[in-house]
Amino acid sequence: MFGLDKKDSTLLILVAVLTLLAPFILNPFPSDSGLAQFNAGYPDLMQRFVIFGIFAIGFNILFGLTGYLSFGHAAFLGVGSYSAVWMFKLLSMNILPAIILSVIISGLFALVIGFVSLRRSGIYFSILTLAFAQMSFALAYSVLTPITNGETGLQIALDDPRIFGGAVAADGSIPVTNLFGLEMRSAFDMAVGPWSFTFSAGYYVCAIVMLIAFYLAIRIFRSPFGMMLRAIKSNQTRMNYTGLNPKPYTLAAFVISGMYAGLAGGLMASMDPLAGAERMQWTASGEVVLMTILGGAGTLIGPVLGAGAIKYMENIFSKINDNVLHGWFAFLPDGMEDAVVWILHPFVGKGWHLTLGIIFMLVVIFLPGGLVEGGQRIARAFKGKKAKETSEKATTEPAE
């Protein structure tokens, strides 16, 4: 299907089904249940899942295939956001031209940074990308204020000289982003008994883009170009001895990865037309590194899983406060209840980063392949158990 083998086609179908049914999957608890706070099926968070999934997929093409660790990918995310917002201000509120411009500008920006940074490898490459990202952040925050609007952030306004669609909506408000008339903020709520599900136009647009990006990543992984990138990661010196120059391949991977980041930035601005310098900080670059390693660097679905896990913890797990903990352990005697809450307090709410750090440490130590390796181990354990049961059954049954 679509030029993929059976295994990759199955993976693509699985990702598509999980993505399209996310409003149901991410809302497992009834709305009036005490566990409803663990539901993640609301539009804003689901959009973040798929947008940062795109960001991580692109980063994985560089890091997972070539082994080049970039600490500056947030710069392309920010450039993509700024490009999209400027397109909304000057041309149209249609998100398609904005996304296309985001990908192009981010790709050109990545070409310049990659051309310089890829002259070095290893830790020196990582430091160069970090330096470029921090310079980009500083420029966006102060020097390029006429373009980026500094610390306030770039956003659309009533006096924008928009060519198509006008600067003001029919009701006098600022127009909303759309895709040929389909507003990104439009949503449909469906109640099924005590459950409530929200279907957002913006989420499904992001989901379709993510599926296309995932499909392209599969094709890159399975292509001769992808094999060359793996050869660079495996032994670049030996590759040089064969007479092949790895630089064009690493630069191409860097540019493609930057374009993925720009696509994610353009989608972020399309869902919420605001671009700020904070998206270019080194912490955002470190976050995508965590997503990729946590999910499984070099795997296809791993970065998407890692992005979903971190964004879930950031938006859901961080909301668990002392009141919630007291509600959970109210059945305990008062002294014991307070003791348990006191023990768990540093790991939830504002301390969710501590829990994430512990999980990341455990994954790196015991699951170097990330969450994907954990899933593979579980699958192998079940297969091994089933095969053992089948073998025992065959040896105990009498021959006919």
Over the stretch 98-140, which tens digit does the pLDDT of each residue have? 999 999 999 999 999 999 999 988 899 999 999 999 999 999 9
CA nearest neighbour of 54 among 226, 223, 288: 288
List of residues 6+ apart from 58 with CB closer than 8 A: 73, 213, 217, 256, 257, 258, 259, 260, 261, 263, 264
Six-digit token string for 309: 């896990």
- Predicted confidence (pLDDT) per residue in 56-105, tens digit: 999 999 999 999 999 999 999 999 999 999 999 998 899 999 999 999 99
d(CA 335, CA 353): 27
Give me the phi and psi of 144, to 5 degrees please.
Answer: -95, 35
The DSSP secondary-structure symbol of 94 reads: B
Q: Counting Cβ atoms within 10 Å, is residue 190 exposed (0-12), middle (13-18) or buried (19+)?
A: exposed
What is the tens place of the pLDDT at every residue in 281-335?
A: 888 888 999 999 999 988 989 999 999 999 988 888 888 888 888 888 888 888 8
pTM of the model: 0.91
* 152's tokens: 């306030």
- Residue in 89, 255, 215, 103 with CA at minimum distance from that of residue 158: 89
pLDDT digits (tens, 9 = 90+) for 243-279: 888 899 999 999 999 999 999 999 999 998 888 888 8
Choice between 34 and 120, residue whose per-residue pLDDT is larger: 120
Distance in angstroms (rounded) separating the CA atoms of residues 2 and 135: 41
Taken in order 121, 123, 124, 125, is the CA torsion positive or negative?
Answer: positive
Contact call for residues 78 and 265 (beta carbons, < 8 A)? yes
Residue 195's pLDDT is what?
A: 87
Q: How far apart are CA 308 and CA 320, in angstroms?
A: 18
Q: What was the pLDDT predicted at 1?
A: 65
